Chain A
Amino acid sequence: MSATTAGAAPAAKAPRVETPFRRFVSEFFESKIATGALVVLVAIVLVAIFAPLISPQNPYDLAQLDIMDGRLEPGSRNGDDTMTYWLGTDDQGRDMLSGIMYGLRISLIVGAGSAIAAAVVGASLGMLAAYAGGRTDTIIMRLVDLQLSFPTILSALMILAFLGKGIMNVVIALIVVEWAYYARTVRGTALVERRREYIEAAQCLALPTRRIIFRHLLPNCMPPLIVVGTIQIARAIALEATLSFLGLGVPITEPSLGLLIANGYEYMLSGKYWISFYPGIALLITIVSINLVGDHLRDVLNPRLKK
């Protein structure tokens, strides 16, 4: 209990004092590009969360779809003249704007969910490798090397070939593909951190190992973990979209952005570009804004780049 209060004390002392967190926030907002990207990203996440409230149509509710409205151009009115398809409709008469909002949900849930799960697995193993050292370290790092020597798409294909299609299997594939990045990053940081005085002090206090790892070591390994995590979310979203595009990902009933793009593929050749184009733009904006935020986070959180 005393350790927690001691840890929280500097932040709670006075509101105007410069804390590391406040310095980090002000440094982050120094960059206009990163701030803009963050705003866009927050907007995207809000759209995804509130999709059922703001989308013009529920794209999963087949009763709301009118097959007669299939493949309408952006800006067309629907058959009953009650709504406008701002981004056009796909082959089943689904409003693309609604489809994209719901697709974003799936893409973000799969991307963020797998990134977080991979972070937990990877960070635990990386921490274990750094703290235990010796043979444990060698075995874990050999696995990491092996995993990283294969391209992501190949590992993902392999797992989907083993397990079959489906959203859960895609998440598993993404976790298997990504954990190694976290493990390597955390191990590197933890190796440096564990030689610091505060760890030594904690060991001298005879604190249990678990407590040292989770309460002392882990918080100090967080900055690089956050950076890797951000970039990996973008990569996970892109990979999920790719797998769904290849027909190995999410089921057709609840399409993610990748599957929406795949659905439009055959119509693209006849000039009906919007079915693939707009989901692609949504995917692109999401990935680029996450990458820009992640890139800037790395600059801010990396002490070596400090002026």
Chain B
Amino acid sequence: MSVYLLRRLIQAALVMLAMSVIVFVGVYAIGDPVEILISPDADQFERARAIAALGLDKPLYEQYFSFLGNALRGDLGRSFVFNEPALQLIGQRAPATLELAFGATILAILVGLPLGLYAGLRPNGAGAKAIMAGSILGFSLPTFWVGLMLIMVFAVQLGWLPSTGRGETAEFLGMRWSFLTWDGLRHMAMPALNLALFKISLVIRLTRAGVRETMLMDYVKFARAKGLSPQRVIGVHVFKNILIPVVTVVGLELGSTIAFSVVTESVFAWPGMGKLIIDSINVLDRPVIVAYLMSIVLMFIIINLVVDLLYSVLDPRVRLESKG
């Protein structure tokens, strides 16, 4: 297990290093922030001073090494626009995105699992067919358009929910969170649902496929033959076994949920990291772009690692294989 863990950690570090090169070269070698950040009226002397202040005059590899060294110390440069440390900016916006992503994940499980279970147990019923048709829609509908439609129906026509912003926040662990206040929850409802739609469909499909597969297994037949109640057979024997793929996928999807929240945040003007990155791309605020991409990549690597480890806990076969 520890060898396995070590190997995975080294792998993760290598991927991180590779991504840092890609991101750095991509962002710093292409595009010219001097044009954007320095006023065109500035004379040559002012220009040169500004370039030196931003560290843009050094050769690329030197910029990279100072970037890497600073990154390891948690310093990813200062935002050209906000003149604040980029990582701090990301950190300020992170709670909004994280609570949105977790809200969406919880919603996906709460809605997706029961629907998938139902569709899997009665695969030929009208209800199951409706659920599956709905899940196809959930995959096909572009997120941003669904978001707009949600706003149109629930905010403009019915006036039930607020359309934009985070609402009232409360402080917890030194950060501002929306899910702790009623007003915040109301603001969160639509974005979270919007972000969850794709994953609800995914969970439905996975659960249904899992249920249909496990119902035919010998151990389910045996449990039934023993005279266990259907609730127990489904709740324990079937449920435990379908949870493995669902946990893996939902876990892995957490990262992509955070990435895709870019779209939802833009629709609902949710002040998270996603909105920040779009704004930063628009003004070529490179330190913020780099900081965002690096934090997301790091998060991805960590999520992959955790899911792998969780997997080995849930599924004894993986554990045994890695030992051997």
By a beta-carbon cutoff of 8 Å, the part of chain A in contact with chain B is 146, 149-151, 153-154, 157-164, 234, 238, 241-242, 245-248, 258, 261, 264-265, 268-269, 271, 273, 276-277, 280, 283-284, 287-288, 291, 295
Contacts and interface: CB of A to CB of B under 8 A. Distances in A.
A284 B141 contact: yes
A248 to B, nearest CB: 6
A157 B30 CA distance: 14
Interface string B285-324: 0000100010011001000100000000000000000000
B140 A245 contact: no
Interface string B254-279: 01100110110011000000000110
Question: For chain B, what secondary structure do more than half of its interface residues adopt (helix, strand, loop), or is it mixed?
Answer: helix
A23 to B, nearest CB: 27
Given A146-B15, A150-B300, A162-B31, A242 B259 contact: no
Given A154-B296, A248-B278, A268 B151 contact: yes
B172 to A, nearest CB: 28
Interface residues of B, number: 41
Instruction: Give chain A's interface secondary structure class.
Output: helix
A163 B140 contact: no
B155 interface: yes
A151 B143 contact: no
Contact of B263 (A146, A160, A245, A295): A245
Contacts of A287: 140-142
B148 A268 contact: yes
B148 A265 contact: yes
A287 to B, nearest CB: 5
Contacts of A242: 142-144, 263
Contacts of A247: 278, 282
Interface in B87-118: none
14 contacts: A153-B259, A157-B262, A157-B277, A157-B281, A158-B23, A163-B31, A241-B145, A246-B278, A261-B144, A283-B145, A287-B141, A287-B142, A288-B140, A295-B136
B34 interface: no
